[in-house]
């Protein structure tokens, strides 16, 4: 349990370190390195593809190598990337450093979730996923304010501060593994395999298992559609508000602050409500609230209406994100849990699809049509969850999740 608590605390610590530097990466690249907006957009935008690759490969490798050693390696990679940013000069250097950062951080996230699942009994996992989500949002709510107050925003020193924070967490994590009594996971880890060939065979087997699990593929597609709605809502709002409102920048600031505060305030209440119900129902409730929030944005006029719509939208988000992890956890075989959480990172493509689709609609039909059009993604996602999730063991209200499974489709081993 101590290790589970450390993973939750680490989620907040790492998001704090990230939010001091990463949200201001574009400012750093322009101010310190003089890069053009096109180049900056390419460097930052390309990270999503490295993240998706690392999420699946890292999750799959954790099934073979063991969770903790891969987490230590990923933390070391993030620290090295932050330090390299401090010393960076030139476009190629920045591109590869940003890729290394994406690979390292996106390896850590699904593996940490898989380890959290390993450590906890099935009935407690949704609650702890909610704690993890809240910790991340607390870090992101506080980090930019601390960075701005300390004068770190957009400067090189911010990356050194981030590296130091990560290094402290790496030491805590390593010492915990070294000195605490061994923790017996709820589902024991596999014995780590050795040799390059065995690792490659493990990746191949994981890929076969994933692509043959129809339910997983449906849930990834549904998650991608939800991601298209909520992950880059700030980009949609920024385009709409900057184009049609004289005080659009001020409204955007209020709305984004509302998002962060609402997550922190309502997460525990939502968690208590959601853990008594099946995760599919939580996602359906969240999806409906997302649609309601998008309709609110579409027809909002005064700033308070955007704020009110964001409250509704954010409550929906707090229902969705922990429940998505719980769904994946419940369909994943214990020996492929890392692969399943890693495969879930493919949903991050929604972070590209949403703003791209929204931009096209905005350019041709205006902001109201943009919000209504993008909200259709959430409607389709809810329908997928209702159709695919309603008959799954462990996903109905009042039924316990299966504690262990050994086979999925034809590709299980």
The 10s digit of each residue's pLDDT in 298-337 is 999 898 999 999 999 999 999 998 888 888 888 887 777 7
Q: What is the pLDDT of residues 254-281, one digit of tens each?
A: 887 788 788 888 887 887 787 777 889 8
Q: How many CA atoms lie within 13 A of 289 on its CB side?
A: 20
Residue 412 pLDDT > 50, yes or no? no
Question: Hey, CA dihedral for 48, 221, 318, 165, is it positive or negative?
Answer: negative
Give CA–CA dist 8/3, Å, rounded: 9
Give CA–CA dist 359/235, Å, rounded: 9
Q: Give the mean model confidence (pLDDT) for residues 167-188.
A: 74
Q: Give the mean model confidence (pLDDT) for residues 58-79.
A: 83
Going by pLDDT thresholds of 50, 70 and 90, the confidence category of residue 410 is very low
Residue 195 pLDDT > 60, yes or no? no
Cα angle for residues 401, 406, 410 (degrees, 5° grid): 115
Pair of tokens at residue 177: 């593994």
Q: How many residues does the chain have?
A: 413
| pTM exceeds 0.75, yes or no | no
Choose among 376, 283, 379, 365: nearest CA to 322: 283
Going by pLDDT thresholds of 50, 70 and 90, the confidence category of residue 79 is very high
Least confident of 40-44, 220-224, 284-288, 353-357: 40-44
Residue 204 pLDDT > 80, yes or no? no
pLDDT reported for residue 409: 33
pLDDT reported for residue 207: 67
Residue 247 pLDDT > 90, yes or no? no
Residue 397 pLDDT > 50, yes or no? no
Give CA–CA dist 301/160, Å, rounded: 42
Give CA–CA dist 61/393, Å, rounded: 27
Burial string for 291-310 (b: 16+ CB within 10 Å, else e) reads: bbbbbbbbebeebeebbbbb
Residue 216 pLDDT > 80, yes or no? yes
Q: What is the pLDDT of residues 364-387, one digit of tens each?
A: 898 999 999 999 999 999 999 999
């Amino acid at each position: 349990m101590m290790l589970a608590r450390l993973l939750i605390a680490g989620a907040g610590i790492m998001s704090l370190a990230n939010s001091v530097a990463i949200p201001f990466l574009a400012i750093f690249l322009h101010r310190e390195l003089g890069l053009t907006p096109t180049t900056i957009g390419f460097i930052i935008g390309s990270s999503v593809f490295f993240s998706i690759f690392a999420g699946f490969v890292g999750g799959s490798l954790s099934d073979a190598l063991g969770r903790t050693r891969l987490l230590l390696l990923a933390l070391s990679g993030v620290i090295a990337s932050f330090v390299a940013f401090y010393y960076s000069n030139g476009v190629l250097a920045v591109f590869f450093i940003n890729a290394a950062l994406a690979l390292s951080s996106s390896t850590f996230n699904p593996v940490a979730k898989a380890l959290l699942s390993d450590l906890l009994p099935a009935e407690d996992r949704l609650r702890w996923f909610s704690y993890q989500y809240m910790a991340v949002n607390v870090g992101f709510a506080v980090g930019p304010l601390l960075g701005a107050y300390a004068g770190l925003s957009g400067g090189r020193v911010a990356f050194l501060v981030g590296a130091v924070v990560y290094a402290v967490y790496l030491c805590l994590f390593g010492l915990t593994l070294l000195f605490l009594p061994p923790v017996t996971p709820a589902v024991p880890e596999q014995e780590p395999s050795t040799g390059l060939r065995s690792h490659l065979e493990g990746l191949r087997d994981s890929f076969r298992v994933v692509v043959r699990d129809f339910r997983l593929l449906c849930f990834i597609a549904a998650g991608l559609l939800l991601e298209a709605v909520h992950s880059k809502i700030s980009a949609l709002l920024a385009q709409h508000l900057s184009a049609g409102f004289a005080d659009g920048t001020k409204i955007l600031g209020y709305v984004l602050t509302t998002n962060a505060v609402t997550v922190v305030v309502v997460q525990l209440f939502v968690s208590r409500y959601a853990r008594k119900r099946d995760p599919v129902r939580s996602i359906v409730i969240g999806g409906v609230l997302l649609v309601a929030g998008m309709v609110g944005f579409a027809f909002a006029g005064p700033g308070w209406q955007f704020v009110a719509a964001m409250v509704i939208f954010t409550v929906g988000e707090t229902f969705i994100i922990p429940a998505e992890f719980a769904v994946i956890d419940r369909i994943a075989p214990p020996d492929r849990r890392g692969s399943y959480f890693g495969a879930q990172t493919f949903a991050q493509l929604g972070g590209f699809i949403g703003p791209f689709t929204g931009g096209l609609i905005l350019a041709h039909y205006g902001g109201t049509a943009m919000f209504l059009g993008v909200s259709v993604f959430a409607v389709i996602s809810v329908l997928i969850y209702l159709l695919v999730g309603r008959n799954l063991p462990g996903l109905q209200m009042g039924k316990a999740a299966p504690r262990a499974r050994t086979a999925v489709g034809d590709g299980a081993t």
